[in-house]
Structure 1
Amino acid sequence: MHYTIKTSLLLAASATAILMSGCATPGGAGMVGYDSKVKYGDAKAVETVTADFGSSDLQSTAESMTQSLLETRYITKAAQAPKVRLRTVNNLTYEHIDTKAITDKIRIKLLKSGQVRFLADKANLGEVADERDLTTSATTKTQLKAMSDADYIITGNVRSIKKANDTVQDVYYNISLELVDPQSGEIVWADEKEIRKVTSKSSVGW
């Protein structure tokens, strides 16, 4: 009787050990999703999953617009790096496009060039105001340096035209930006990026 109980306990312990070893991962306790199908890809690779505005379109737009803007005489011949504020780029397309992602990427590239200085845009002016209020209440300073006016503002639009028949879908994107002098209202620079995508219809539809 005691032998049977002892044997049963040993078998149960062995089964538990096997199950535990099967659940363990080669990387140890820190590994999550070892059997997952997710893998890293090249962030710069051309993305052609659908005809919608994608990461490749975002990257190429930011690259071409930044290069064009840095070549304008209002930037290259400025006595000092001009102060710029990015305004909202309007999405006038039929799909959701995160236009702030476009302007953020352009801002990063322009800042890295060292030829442009950026002021806080509308999206984070509230945080800037909160910080100024905190500084005022936490110090004995009676005056704070006034926020500078922008030398230029950047505005823009994203438009699209979509057409399709029984076999082909054609999507055209036009991304346009303008550099505006806020004092005079003069548009001193403008450029556009055009993208066209053609998709053949699959057996299961678009």
Structure 2
Amino acid sequence: MPHKDLVSWSAVISAYTQSGQSKQALLLFRNTQLSGLKPDEVSLVNWRTACTLLGALDLGRWLHALSGRIRFDPLSLAWGTALVDMYAKRGCLRAALQVFEKMPRRNVLTWSSTLCGQAMHELGKEALDLFEKMKAITCLRPNEITFTGVLSACSHAGLVIKGLRHFLSMDEEYCVKPGIQHFGCMVELLGRSGL
């Protein structure tokens, strides 16, 4: 291409990221920076995905700072959720919660990323408290990802009865069909409890 704009760079970076070639995606990100193009929300989310897959937390933090320097709203729904997901997956739960709390709008993915991060890092009680808060103050319906976090949190906290109730409520109350990941969480929950 004789002229490469931000859309073309982002499309190629996204393709590399989605095909599991995150290192190549980050090299292209560097070339985008050298070309002098100002990133937009879509490109930042694509680049953040590559950082998360590679475990490049420092680069992800740099993107977070860059979003503020270029007068990009760092707390938009897509960008804020991407940051929460990145920080939560890398174990930086304080940073994830700071972004989460500053977001003016949150969707089910934002809530799920936060509580899944807490569950993943064995903060089961905190994840379950966040789930109850989500149900109490929003009209959002939990989805498959939300329930994976909830069941994992019950497992880490040793809450067998609560885990069984949440598992049953998936289909009965929320019309979410349990998948293999949910059954896996239940096996872990029961196994940890000697059942």
TM-score by length of 2: 0.25
Normalising by structure 1, we get a TM-score of 0.24
Task: Give the structure with the higher percent helix.
Answer: 2
Of Structure 1 and Structure 2, which has the larger fraction of its residues in strand? 1
